[in-house]
Structure 1
Amino acid sequence: MTIKSYAAISAGSALEPFEFELPSIGANEVDIAVEHCGICHSDLSMLNDEWKMTEYPFVPGHEVIGTISAVGDGVTHLKIGQKVGLGWHAGYCQTCDECLDGHHNLCATAEPTIVSRHGGFAETVRAQAISVTELPEELDPRDAGPLLCGGMAVYNPLVQLDISPNAHVGVIGIGGLGHLALKFANAWGCEVTAFTSSDAKAEEARSLGAHHTINSRDSEAIKSAEGTFDLILSTVNVPLDWNSYLAALKPRGRMHMLGAVTEPLDLNLIPMMFNQLSLSSSPVGSPATIRKMLKFAARHQIAPVTEHFPMSQANEAIAHLESGKARYRIVLDRD
């Protein structure tokens, strides 16, 4: 089967029309006719081979919403015509201890949707059925795609870290990830504070779920919050004064890194030791957690703030994301 898509031929190159062949479908696989696909910052990193794992031609896209168009003989829980979503992972080994313990997202041989396979900037995406999730009817398919990566990234620590609804949660960076973190933490029941470098975003942050805002460029404002937070979620991918944020944690507090900062972190251990502070990170979530996240989002009417481009204008959409002007997630609509 010949599939039309948009691919980069080399690192940093523009996307161009590209066709590839899909072999016969496997017993435990499904095909998704793509209708919408979000653009994540991870797509940009992969496009530019920043993580040294990209294979070209490279078809981006791992926030896929579409309709099941074909199923393998062994698939029993999905049917042709169902509206579904596919996120960062398109397959797992399903036999390692992590998979058997329900932590598929930690599988050492998990298959990312855009690593060694073609992603959602295409007519059709193929994936293992276990990694594909039915979309709740209450969610708008046009805007649901970013929940599968960005939404999952911020929801997963609330579950994995057993965050209390009485917790005070800080969110650093109110962008593609951060605005979703505000929404999820608020719906979780937490008291929520947004750290934002833009005064213009302060009021918007409150409309997205923040109860308080702190200007992240004001060191005195950050200092005044010392000992305040049970959890701080960092959604930025640039170096900051991490020790000032660690000081803002309560004893036994935790800073959880969701933005892919590639530089080494400069941390003072002694304050962490004396206050029993923790630093952690996590990758998206398991299929079961994705399913629960979507149900939670449907129940609490959580949706990303999106801008839409036709898929034929993928290069323009990527340029808009790279400019830093996206508010807050970009979705490509198949045209």
Structure 2
Amino acid sequence: MINAYAAFEEKQVLKSFEYDPGELGESQIEIEVAYCGICHSDISMIDNEWGISVYPLVPGHEVAGTVSQVGSKVTSLKIGDRAGLGWHSGYCNQCAACNTGDHHLCVTAEQTIVGRHGGFADKVRADANSVVKIPDGIDLAVAGPLFCGGVTVFNPLLQFGVRPTDKVAVIGIGGLGHLALQFLNAWGCEVTAFTSSDVKRREALDLGAHRTLNSGDPAVLEAAAGRFDLIISTVNVKLDWNLYLGALAPKGRLHFVGAALEPLDLNVFALIMQQRSVSGSPVGDPSIIEKMLEFTVLHDIKPVIEIFDMADVNKAIANLKAGDIHYRAVLSA
């Protein structure tokens, strides 16, 4: 049996939940959860913001722990390995995306907390090909957030060939943004943080930003016209995107990794005349997660976390909803 915390209805607190996972599949592994990060996507699923939640729902897709069981056909992992699990818990391995290495774009990929139970539990299961070993140089306590938040902001650096000489700005210095600043600084970019918080302005500089700009002042954004090769938005709220579009250099890119639900209102001429682009990306495939983990060890990049006991999951979620987490909440099993 697996002991977990589940939402039984949308927008309700989580309660203790026990379930029988059945026999371990031949290509599956079971992870004994040591830590599990809390992502805003977990809250979106608990509250059924995307209309795809099935209850009871065990959230948790930033898992770090040790392998406790392996299926008969698994050769990539063994019992006792330190391992992590992110948004995806399995891939079809036969579609065009999987065959070209873009497993994270597989349209039939199994999602760790969609229609199955995730990592707010003492154990969690997944297909072995979605689980990545955690290098010894990474503390398990900080590893979980890298498997979703970390790879989400690292993936665009590879996908779009970001150069060390690029001028890159980050909108929103929170769970995603504070990691983006660290990655971009280590990548060699000139890094700017957009934030309206005085406290976060100071912390952004400590995290790797070379400068900050007040995102609450339209005049500041207008003065930054034509400056950035890439702007990464990590927020999930509606902003005046045309001001940020105008801050892009020719051929610049406005890239979304935060799930803003409202439609974008963009000036198409601002795109056409300067050959700018607008794009988005999800997490990354396991090979990208492996590269990201190697990069974090090499450059000593760590999520800034607050640890809560698993039994205090509802307190942690309430703090995250209130914006009181600095910068990533992690549950200790």
Q: Per the shorter chain, which TM-score range?
A: over 0.9
- Structure 2: runs of 5 or more not aligned: none
> Which residue pairs with 1:27 in the alignment?
26
Aligned residue in 2 for 1:38 = 37
Q: Tell me how far apart the structure 2 counterparts of residues 77 and 266 of structure 1 sit (CA, whole Å).
A: 46
User: 1:259 aligns to what?
Assistant: 258
> What is the rounded CA distance, in whole Å, between the counterparts of 1:176 and 1:209 in structure 2?
15
Aligned partner of 1:88: which letter? Answer: W
Aligned length: 333
Aligned to 1:14: 13
Residue 26 of structure 1 aligns to a residue whose secondary structure is coil
Report the secondary structure of 2:50's partner residue. Answer: coil
Using the alignment, how far apart are the partners of 1:194 and 1:21 within structure 2? 46
Alpha-carbon deviation of 1:77?
1.1
Deviation at 1:202, TM superposition (A): 1.0
Cα deviation per residue 1:263-317 (whole Å; 9 max; x = unaligned)? 0111000111000000000010001001111111111111100001000000000
Output the CA distance in 2 between the equivalents of 1:240 and 1:199. 19
Q: Are 1:58 and 2:73 counterparts? A: no
Matched residue, 1:270? 269
Counterpart residue number, 1:239: 238
Query: Which residue identity is paired with 1:207?
Result: D
Aligned residue number for residue 48 of structure 1: 47
Deviation at 1:144, TM superposition (A): 1.1
1:78 counterpart SS class: coil
Give the Cα–Cα distance (whole angstroms) in 1 for the partners of residues 9 and 308 of structure 2: 23
Consecutive aligned runs of 4 or more in structure 1 exceeding 6 Å deviation: none
Give the aligned partner of residue 121 of structure 1.
120
Q: Distance in 2 between the 1:200 and 1:294 partners?
A: 29
5 Å-filtered alignment, 1:185-334, equals: 185-334=184-333
2:287 partner amino acid: A
- Output the CA distance in 2 between the equivalents of 1:329 and 1:65: 14
Partner of 2:172: 173
Identity in percent? 56
Give the TM-score normalised by the residue count of structure 2: 0.99
* Structure 2 Cα separation of the partners of residues 183 and 279 of structure 1: 23
Q: Which amino acid aligns with 2:145?
A: P
Superimposed CA distance per residue, residues 86-128 of structure 1 (whole angstroms, 9 cap, x where no aligned partner): 0000000001010010000000100110011100001110000
In 2, Cα distance between equivalents of 1:219 and 1:13: 38
What is the aligned-residue RMSD (CA, Å)?
0.5
Helix, strand or coil at the partner of 1:125: strand
Task: Name stretches of at least 5 consecutive residues in structure 1 with no aligned partner.
Answer: none
Instruction: Give me the whole-angstrom Cα distance separating, in 2, the residues matched to 1:203 and 1:22.
Output: 47
2:122 is aligned with what amino acid?
E
> 1:114 is paired with a residue of what secondary structure?
coil
1:76 aligns with 2:78: no
